[in-house]
Amino acid sequence: MTLLNKKIGVIGGGIGGLASAIAFAKFGSQVTLYEKALVISEVGAGIQISANGINVLTKLGIYPDYLKSVGFPKNIIFKDYKTDKAITEIQHNQDLNLPYMQLHRADLIEALVARAKSLGVNIVLGSKAKVINSGGSGSKIKVNNSEVFDFDLTVAADGMNSTVRQYWFGQRPSVFMKQIAWRALIPSNGMSIEPTVYMGINKHLVMYPLRNGKIINIIGVQSNKNLVPESWTNDGSPEKFYNEFSDFNTSVTNILSDITEVKLWGLYSHPTLKSWSHKNVVLLGDAAHPMLPFMAQGSCMALEDAAVLARVLNKINNIDTALKKYENIRKKRVTAVQKTSIKNGKFFHINNLILRKFFHITMLFITKLHPSFLKSRYNWIYNYKA
């Protein structure tokens, strides 16, 4: 299925949807992207893109030309929540072949939109799109329960609560992990901070600067038995956030006290789908494989999906064969990253005091002997070329 002049419909204007639209457009496809929001606004907070994701952004012509206000941290420090003492660190950007960036999600979305438009992608906002038919020579998308449009292929990149997945692939219940995440942004007011992970008991907190140090991105994750919806747009209580992390050292709590707005969502495990495609409809990113945040790989996996999907479809004439190839390439890797993320979450939240002390001392010792140890453990993720 050479992609030249093929009509591709994309549902979802997030990172995965925009990246796939760009990837298809670069192969000469006629791409229309539907996004239900009326405007693509400054939604979200800080995200981290490792070398595997930057590789895709470079191939798509987004980095460096379209991306501004990007931070490249020298390292990410892991500290004890109480003492503020360093436990270990991951060294980043020591190797120019393995860059690591931190940026505001809105800045990446803005860059993706600009690049997509430069390639002729038609972005239609305020459009609730659903696939009403798939098979034969293509798929049909109905927009706002009104007009119907024909496409050779529809890419569903409509997120972890994907309506396309629910309709075409069945609604399989997700499992609440008894963990919740808080997210906030505050102005730095001239304060300089290093990217840091504070490891607590049954909780951890991440901070790093954004937009040339003008903003501080804050994410807190904690164990919590009370059910919380899986949505990044839920408003939380700044006072509650502060109280839940008030046992952290004063360098942390002083920053938390400045928070005036916070988002709160529950973390869920999603069952693995048997298939990511149904005839002429294919899932991508969180719609196919929602990721827990403990490896900061959700955006990178969506970028990789986009690059691989467009490439195999352009090389393989039979669409069924091409979509199976896409799944075969992506599923094993995505599953491995998901498992690694779950393990990381356990390390961040060790509650056994003896085991916790042993782990911290061991990591401190290993880091002194082999400073690049932690980074090297994840090179199989970062070195990947989609």
Residues 6+ apart with CB under 8 A from 41: 106
Token digits of residue 52:
């595997």
Residues 130/141, Cβ–Cβ less than 8 Å: yes
The number of beta carbons lying within 10 Å of the beta carbon of residue 246 is: 11
Over the chain, what HEC string results? CCCCCCEEEEECCCHHHHHHHHHHHHCCCEEEEECCCCCCCCCCCEEEECHHHHHHHHHCCCCCCCCCCCECCCEEEEEECCCCCEEEEEECCCCCCCCCEEEEHHHHHHHHHHHHHHCCCEEECCCCEEEEEEECCEEEEEECCCEEEEECEEEECCCCCCHHHHHHHCCCCCEEEEEEEEEEEEECCCCCCCCEEEECCCEEEEEEEECCCCEEEEEEEEECCCCCCCCCCCEECHHHHHHHCCCCCHHHHHHHCCCCCEEEEEEEECCCCCCCEECCEEECHHHCCCCCHHHCCHHHHHHHHHHHHHHHHHHCCCHHHHHHHHHHHHHHHHHHHHHHHHHHHHHHCCCCHHHHHHHHHHHHHHHHHCCCHHHHHCHHHHCCCC
Sorted by where each starts, the structural domains of the chain and their CATH numbers stand as 7-42+107-171+270-348 (3.50.50.60)
Of the pLDDT bands very low, low, confident and very high (cuts 50, 70, 90), residue 23 is very high
Amino acid at 237: S
Sign of CA dihedral 328, 334, 339, 340: positive
Give residue 233's pLDDT.
82
202 token code pair: 């049954």
- For residue 193, is pLDDT > 90? yes
Measured over all CA atoms, what is the biggest interatomic distance in the chain, rounded to whole angstroms?
64
* CB atoms closer than 10 angstroms to residue 218: 25
pLDDT over 90 at 20, yes or no: yes
214 phi and psi angles, rounded to 5 deg: -80, -25
Judge residue 177's burial from the number of C-beta atoms within 10 Å of its C-beta, 0-12 exposed, 13-18 middle, 19 or more buried: middle
Cα 54 to Cα 195: distance, rounded to the nearest angstrom: 19
Our CA dihedral for 103, 106, 112, 115, rounded to 10 degrees, sits at -100
Angle of the 15-26 helix axis to the 105-118 helix axis, nearest 10 = 20
Asked if residues 158 and 287 have their Cβ atoms less than 8 Å apart, the reply is: yes
Q: In this model, does residue 307 exceed pLDDT 90? A: yes
Tokens of 314: 């352009």
CA 370, distance to chain mean position in Å, is: 29
What is the predicted pLDDT for the residue at 302?
98
Supply the pLDDT for residue 96.
Answer: 67
The mean per-residue pLDDT over the stretch 85-102 comes to 84
Does the structure show a pLDDT above 90 at 369? no
Question: What's the full length of the chain, in residues?
Answer: 386
- For the chain, the average pLDDT equals 92
Distance CA 91, CA 89 (A): 6
Least confident of 54-63, 297-306, 344-353: 344-353
374: pLDDT confidence band, cut at 50, 70 and 90? confident
The mean pLDDT value for 236-263 works out to: 97
| pLDDT at residue 42 tops 70 | no
Question: Residue 3 has what pLDDT?
Answer: 92
CA–CA dist 77, 89 (Å, integer): 4
Token pair 């501004």 is found at 68
pTM: 0.94
Between residues 103 and 348, which one has the greater pLDDT?
103
